[in-house]
Structure 1
Amino acid sequence: MKLYRFGQAVCRLVLRTLFKVEIRGKEHIPSEGGVLLCSNHISNFDPPLLGAFIHRQVRYMAKKELFDKKGIGKLLKGLGAFPVKRGGSDRESLRTALRILKEGDMVGLFPEGTRSKTGEIGNGLAGAGFFAGKSEAYVIPCVIIGPYRFRKRVILAYGEPIDMEAYRQQRVSAQEITDTIMTEIQRLKDIHQ
């Protein structure tokens, strides 16, 4: 956890030096319990931004190839990241994420699965809906509004938790849940732009 806190401090310093960062809605993040943070994805700066300004640790899935590199792999593990095999279903990473949520920790996801080159919010993949439906975690939509340009404004807004109870009881499909999450992310963008 010390490495994570140090990393947060460094990220805050770097992000605030490069950009005019505005954080909105931190009060919507529960202080305890499993939390699934779901954000749009516009840059490689997104993961550090998403977690740098909140008190709780955010754990991310990162592509398995990164863990094979000695220095980067150790650093990622130290920061709480866990590997995922891209291009198919990786049952181990799914179990790991569900376990993290069940243990009351926080997982950060980018439901679109890739960065948006236009800054527009795209369609989400079913993974976010899977985790939201299979866990009891709070689901917090987030939006990042850029672009990241030197000394220009970048907004990160955390939304209120999405009520998942009806979706879970009715066993709504993972894709439908993801669509709801993406709608909330778009709504946040419309409010905060």
Structure 2
Amino acid sequence: MNLYSFAKGLVKSILSPLYRIEVVGLEHFPKEGGVLLCANHIDNLDPPVVGITAPRPVSFMAKEELFRVPVLGKILPGVHAFPVKRGMSDREALRKGLKVLKEGNVLGLFPEGTRSKTGEIGKGLAGAGFFALRSDAKVVPCAIIGPYKPFRKLKVVYGPPVPMEEIKEQKLNAEKTTDIIMEHIASLMK
């Protein structure tokens, strides 16, 4: 058993009963091929919650500071996380993300880049649009509907893939593409 499978099983056994996690819409998740999984960001637990509810292994970009934390820095690469420098264009992280998608794997992103303090969806950064436009990956929106309170239901909703063919035909830029992805995430929260 690899570290990812072990960690997923362990984290699922703790978080699923604690937050009574309900998962909706898994039928929308492509069984194969590159997937850009875009979710809102309300809590530090969002990456593990998305990781345990997604039907396929997910690679996440994580802020590079986390890779300097003792123990955590050793675990992150084993659970498919890779570092990204925040606040600047990190070409290496962009290349790595495109490679994940090109190899037919799942790249998980939180387009807002940081947690929402209010639970409301914020403005997404252009990175999600960049990956969506530069790859042939299916773009799957995901809404995490909190709050993270023990023994209260936490809902994770996966929506149908964003119609990227239409967006690419319109020749929209990365920022506008991200806005459309964010609208799809928001629509899942209703």
> How would you bin the TM-score normalised by the shorter chain?
over 0.9
- Between the two proteins, what is the percent identity of the paired residues? 54
With normalisation by structure 2, the TM-score equals 0.96
- C-alpha RMSD of matched pairs (Å): 1.2
- Residue deviations 1:105-162 (CA, integer Å, cap 9, x gap): 0000001111111111111111100100110000000000000001001000000011
2:31 aligned with 1:43: no
Counterpart of 2:76? 76
Q: Is the 8 A contact 1:133 1:171 kept in 2?
A: no
Question: Where does 1:149-160 land on structure 2 (aligned, <5 Å)?
Answer: 149-160=149-160
Separation of aligned partners in 2, 1:171 and 1:33: 23
AA aligned to 1:32 is E
Number of residue-to-residue matches in the alignment: 190
Question: Where does 1:166-185 land on structure 2 (aligned, <5 Å)?
Answer: 166-185=166-185
Question: Where does 1:111-190 land on structure 2 (aligned, <5 Å)?
Answer: 111-190=111-190
Counterpart of 1:13? 13
State the Cα distance separating 1:27 from its structure 2 match: 1.2
AA aligned to 1:12 is K
- Residue deviations 1:33-89 (CA, integer Å, cap 9, x gap): 000000000001111111102331100011112223342122001111111111100
Q: Secondary structure at the match of 2:22?
A: strand
Counterpart of 2:66? 66
AA aligned to 1:34 is G
Give ranges in structure 1 of 5+ residues lacking alignment. Answer: none
Counterpart of 2:94? 94
AA aligned to 1:54 is A
